[in-house]
Amino acid sequence: MPTKIIKRDKGSITLQVTIELEKSMLKSEEAILNAVNEVGSLATGEAISQFDTDGSPIQKDSNTWTSKGKKFKAYQTPYGEVDIFRHVYQNSKGGQVYCPLEDSARIVVTSTPQFARIVSNKYANMPSTQVQRDLCDNHGRSISRSCLQNLSEAVGCVAQAKEDVWHYVLPKLEEPVETVTIGVDGTCMLLCKKGYREAMVGTISFYNKQGERQHTTYLGATPEYGKATFWQRMEREIAQVKSIYPQATYVGIADGAKDNWSFLEQHTQRQNLDFYHATSYLKAAAYAAAPMNQAKRSKWINDRCHELKHDSNAANHLLEEMKTFRGKRFSKKIAEQLESSITYFENHIGQMNYAQSIEKNIPIGSGVTEAACKTLVKQRLCQSGMKWLEQGASLVLGLRTLTQSSGRWKQFWNKISQYGLPVT
């Protein structure tokens, strides 16, 4: 046997491994990987076994549980499957059995916590078929898709069950936080039997005095959650941030959706309509400024966009200018575009203080939130041919918000290690 335990001390083991090196470097590396997996499996088996009892009766839920003897069970690890001979308990009333080893070792379904962390992280970012292939090709681990899915679902259920209870510490930032932007947006995804529905995405970003983004916290909610639940989650996050950075300037950034602003106005000191959305309405109005001359139209757009961005009272001036176009003769389509632009500016005139924001290095674009719609939802949940059941989509999105918010994935697993699994 190339790998074996040669010494056991209290709390430690010493292993011996023999690796046959090949003339091909690639084959040598494959041999090393196989040996590492052998070492890992052997060591992990020893680590799991230390959490077993000696078979004595135990107290649990005000009941006395007695051992039914030792039974074998296979556990999945990052290095391979290991068989463990451990005590299984049952109380005097019979019924459900209990394995203290699994509780103490924080076993997730049939997996060690480290393997559960690896699998659920991968599943948060790619379908089960790709996770299965990745584990086989790059880690030397063969495991069924159903096992991967069950394991990821169990981790997702823990994340979902504790999303309102477990609070996560923000990372230590290199520079003082001057501005905190809060962004919300919606994006569509396909649900089984329900068609395309809107998922919600929220971002809380932290900027220094120079306007450089230092960190972003991501939140997401699938359609079945409803916006009310999403707003509540956002409010909890915002309250935590404000308790840490009470002196920061809080800025709401979004597109023109009314629901977004009803929420953001409650929690921010100033609001910036996404500059790109504002300029898109200027581009629509440009056809009324120069219906027949593309060169003049392009110049008008460039001049007005620059003015909107850098002149303090530009939004009011542009609104008045667009109103003067109403007396011109042009097509029905251009007239409708003009009226739409005028209405848009009238509704959001107070959210177009771009010059003042730029002067203070405050962001004026919702690019972070729009990018989050793609990275959180689209890239994983809207791949070709994908349709989701509500629960499955919610679990995956919950995992993605944890993995993409810097520091939270590690904190999540630290909490599991500390408190155990509320859902398995």
202-220 tens-digit pLDDT: 999 999 999 999 999 999 9
Decide if pLDDT at 398 tops 70.
yes
Confidence class for position 424, pLDDT limits 50, 70, 90: very low
In this prediction the pTM is 0.91
Q: What is the pLDDT of residues 280-302, one digit of tens each?
A: 999 999 999 998 899 999 999 99
Residue 225: predicted pLDDT: 59
Kindly tell me if the per-residue pLDDT of 228 is higher than 90. no
pLDDT level of residue 330 (50, 70, 90 thresholds): confident
Q: In whole angstroms, what is the distance from residue 367 CA to residue 390 CA?
A: 27
Inter-residue contact 127 to 80 (CB < 8 Å)? no
Instruction: Give residue 143's pLDDT band: very low, low, confident or very high (50, 70, 90).
Output: very high
What is the arithmetic mean of pLDDT over 238-244? 96
pLDDT of 12 reads 93
Q: Which residues are paired to 189 by β-bridges?
A: 197
CA angle 249, 252, 254 (to 5 degrees): 155
Percent of the chain with pLDDT over 90: 86
Q: How confident is the model at residue 274 (pLDDT cuts 50, 70, 90)?
A: very high
Question: Which ranges in 89-144 belong to alpha helices (H)?
Answer: 100-104, 113-125, 128-139
Pick the closest to residue 415 from 52, 53, 113 (CA basis): 113
Determine the Cα–Cα distance for residues 237 and 217; give it in Å rounded to an integer: 9
In contact, 5 and 15? CB cutoff 8 Å: yes
pLDDT of residue 1: 52
What is the CB neighbour count within 10 angstroms for residue 65?
A: 19
Query: Which of the listed ranges 191-200, 225-234, 257-266, 409-418 does the model predict with the highest average pLDDT?
Result: 409-418
What is the total residue count of the chain?
A: 424
Amino acid identity of residue 262, one-letter, is S
Q: Cα(390)–Cα(399) distance, rounded to whole angstroms?
A: 15
* Amino acid residing at 124: A
User: How confident is the model over 127-140, as a mean pLDDT?
Assistant: 96
Q: Find which of 15-19, 254-258, 418-422 is predicted with most confidence, using mean pLDDT.
A: 15-19
Mean pLDDT, all residues of the chain? 94
